[in-house]
């Protein structure tokens, strides 16, 4: 019998610490497959976030460093400028990227730094127990917004793809999700495209993944993925947001 699907060589043999049904694991696999297919496992450098993805370097088979909270794009800038021939990517949650680290990502995109960012938008601070993020939807409950996010009090959620797309240095931004198999296949295509553009030295590339956090959303995995495909995808439209 021939293998149809086996674990990618881009992953280490470590067991993931993520909660059952968490999207982080699925996105890790897509990155691993991309690194393997582009034959860049040994040359790539991952910059890990602070957040649930903090141990991503223990799971992916490439080299990895850990940055201070939100500062992955600054670290990536330094590494990519020093080693321009090596693929460099950051992996960041929405608390990390859109909150404490928003200056770093905006300026990296503005400068057109030639690395890739994989942005995991689960609308909440996962690691610290479900606090409101800048991406939490209006009406969505969080431990710091027990009545749900209110527009008058907290403002409207940030659409990072659209916001960064206004900057000249960004050459590719796509929003995807991994809530079912057809969307996973599309997400893989987007991640591979971003890395390919980086290998062609085109500029800053950005893939936003709408991700499920069943634990902090207090939902079953099925309900959580319905939430991604429903209210989340409605506010955060899927597809290519910018490509030059």
Partner 1 sequence: MAAKVIFDRDRCKGCELCVDACPVHILALEESTNRKGYHPAGCTDTSKCIGCASCARICPDSVISVYRD
Identify residues 84-103 at the interface with ligand TPP (CB under 6 A).
93-96, 100
Choose the one of partner 1, ligand TPP, none that binds residue 15, judging by a C-beta under 5 to 8 angstroms depending on kind. Answer: partner 1
- Of 5 and 152, the one with the shorter C-beta distance to partner 1 is 5
Residue 16 in the binding site for ligand TPP (CB under 6 A): no
CA distances in angstroms from 56 to 37, 45, 214, 227, listed in the order given: 19, 12, 19, 25
Considering only 16, 37, 66, 128, the residue that binds ligand TPP (CB under 6 A) is 128
Query: Residue 132 is inside which H or E element, if any?
Result: strand 131-132
- Of 83 and 185, the one with the shorter C-beta distance to partner 1 is 185
Choose the one of partner 1, ligand TPP, none that binds residue 51, judging by a C-beta under 5 to 8 angstroms depending on kind. Answer: ligand TPP
- Of 2 and 146, the one with the shorter C-beta distance to partner 1 is 2
Size of the site for ligand TPP (CB under 6 A): 19
CA distances in angstroms from 195 to 110, 188, 202, 208, listed in the order given: 19, 11, 10, 14
CA distances in angstroms from 229 to 59, 76, 179, 226, listed in the order given: 27, 31, 7, 5
- CA 14 – CA 202 distance, rounded (Å): 34
- CA 92 – CA 206 distance, rounded (Å): 11
Residue 157 in the binding site for ligand TPP (CB under 6 A): no
For residue 232, the number of C-alpha atoms closer than 13 Å in the C-beta half-sphere is 27
59 CB neighbour count, 10 Å cutoff: 25
- What x/- string results for residues 37 through 66 when contact with ligand TPP is judged by CB under 6 A? ------------xxxxx-------------
Contact of 84 with 200, CB cutoff 8 Å: no
Contact of 233 with 161, CB cutoff 8 Å: no
Nearest CA to 213 among 138, 126, 149?
126
- Report in angstroms how near the CB of residue 39 gets to ligand TPP at its nearest: 29
Identify residues 155-214 at the interface with partner 1 (CB under 8 A).
178, 180-181, 184-185, 214
Residue 125 in the binding site for ligand TPP (CB under 6 A): yes
Considering only 84, 222, 234, 244, the residue that binds partner 1 (CB under 8 A) is 222
- Of 126 and 157, the one with the shorter C-beta distance to ligand TPP is 126
- CA 201 – CA 41 distance, rounded (Å): 18
- Of 103 and 185, the one with the shorter C-beta distance to partner 1 is 185
Contact residues for ligand TPP, defined by CB under 6 A: 49-53, 69, 93-96, 100, 120, 122, 124-128, 133
């Amino acid at each position: 019998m021939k293998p149809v699907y086996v674990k990618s060589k881009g992953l280490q043999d470590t067991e993931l610490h993520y909660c059952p049904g968490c999207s982080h694991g699925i996105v890790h696999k897509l990155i691993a497959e991309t690194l393997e297919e582009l034959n860049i496992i040994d040359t790539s450098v991952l910059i890990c976030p602070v957040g649930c993805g903090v141990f991503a370097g223990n799971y992916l088979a490439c080299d990895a460093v850990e940055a201070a909270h939100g500062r992955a794009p600054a670290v990536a800038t330094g590494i990519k400028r020093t080693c321009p021939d090596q693929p460099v990517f950051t992996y960041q949650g929405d608390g990390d990227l859109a909150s404490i680290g928003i200056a770093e990502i905006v300026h990296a995109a503005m400068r057109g730094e030639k690395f890739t960012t994989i942005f995991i938008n689960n609308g909440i601070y996962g690691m610290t127990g479900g606090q409101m993020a800048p991406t939490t939807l209006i009406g969505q409950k969080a431990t710091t917004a027990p009545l749900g996010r209110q527009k008058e009090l907290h403002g409207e959620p940030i659409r990072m793809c659209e916001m960064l797309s206004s900057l000249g240095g960004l050459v590719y931004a796509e929003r995807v999700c991994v809530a079912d198999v057809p969307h996973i296949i599309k997400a893989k295509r987007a991640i591979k495209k971003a890395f390919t553009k980086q290998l062609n030295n085109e500029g800053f590339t950005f893939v936003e993944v709408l991700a499920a956090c069943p634990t902090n959303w207090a939902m079953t995995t099925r309900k959580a993925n319905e939430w991604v495909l429903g209210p989340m995808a409605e506010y955060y439209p899927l597809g290519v947001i910018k490509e030059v």
